[in-house]
Structure 1
């Protein structure tokens, strides 16, 4: 009997959230292995053998190990092609890649407050920065600005092509990234998507689907009991 795929993740990880949706959409059974980032379990020697970067998610499929959410999703889409996560239409395909790229490189990294503060502590330690380190409030304001700037770009990109979902009436790659981003920003930074009507409409549509609702942070095995 073939072993189940293993997904190493953390309940509040928006990167892990994307992957959980992909697995559910494809109907793939997998073993969820929690990695508590607050306790530093991502730096445990055993996990570092799986992912030397010390980040989640990480997917293990037999001898195959993939440690980037975008790469994991593309791997799953090629190995399990139904339902497809990319449309045949070249323009819509490019739009899906754009949305994924804007979120994965232009928004998500900036909202990881722990990494943001760790970076400034590193600069201070190395004496590369003469100004006082930014406080928590200044850091959160900076993160909020980055998220809203990204949302503005996504709204303009999708306003003329969205249907029920981001790029039409079928679920594709863009939707996985968008729902995880919006949900993560809401629970971490209380940023509402309402000022962005296209994004808000898509997010409401996602709530109607069990594959999206089952993947939310609060429903994961490692989520605190008070979240459920």
Structure 2
């Protein structure tokens, strides 16, 4: 029997996307949580497991996987059904590009360690940090809106959830948390809301996690 342990944090977008994928596959896993606000991801015990000091990390039968893009690809290979990527290679590349717009162009610039650095090293005010967050979300979402309008048929790509939705739903959650205006992105928000209504996505929602603030 596979022993699958997800190390995460309830409000981590990267951990959120991995929870979605595991839930879509029906994988049985347990969670260990690390409070990023308290710096738990930099504890010696966790660094011995995941030397980059970030979440998520996924333990499986003695192996440790880090970085959500690699973890998601592994999940899709380990449990092929339902697939997170279309079979056609051109379509799969489009879905990967949608995911990368979030995973490479938005999320890294808006994660907690970057925001903390803006405040501590550059003295950015709350309003300046908010403007920074909104800027990078808007840049990425503008491109995604075009792609989803072109390729979506109810979801980010096509008529079922894919890797793109695993990235999109957590990023929309983050955008709404920071009160970013999403009205310019009707196709994007409709796709995100359709995916978020599915049970695997609902069960992955930050508020449904055992370490969520109550």
* Equivalent residue for 1:204, pick from 190, 193, 213: 193
Per the alignment, residue 171 of structure 1 pairs with: 161
TM-score, normalisation: structure 1: 0.89
Q: How much has 1:6 moved relative to structure 2? A: 0.3
CA apart distance, 1:193: 2.7
CA distance in 2, matches of 1:9, 1:113: 14
Contact 2:161–2:195 (Cα < 8 Å) also in 1:
no
- Which residue among 161, 172, 179 is the counterpart of 1:190? 179
Q: Quick one: distance in 1 between partners of 2:155 and 2:168?
A: 10
**Residue 52 (structure 1) shift:** 1.1
* Structure 2: tracts of 5 or more residues without a match: none
> Deviation at 1:120?
6.9
Is the CA contact 1:113–1:139 (under 8 Å) kept in the aligned structure 2?
no
Give the whole-Å Cα distance in 2 for the aligned partners of 1:57 and 1:10: 8
**Secondary structure of 1:167's match?**
coil
What is the aligned length? Answer: 214
Gaps of 5+ in 1: 125-131
- Asked whether the equivalents of residues 10 and 37 of structure 1 are also in contact (C-alpha less than 8 Å), the reply is yes
* Larger radius of gyration between Structure 1 and Structure 2: 1
Q: Does 1:111 align with 2:100?
A: no
SS of match in other structure, 1:106: coil
Q: Is the 8 A contact 1:5 1:62 kept in 2?
A: yes
TM-score by length of 2: 0.94
How big is the shift at 1:117? 3.3
**C-alpha distance in structure 2 between counterparts of 1:208 and 1:133, whole Å:** 39
CA RMSD of aligned residues (A): 1.5
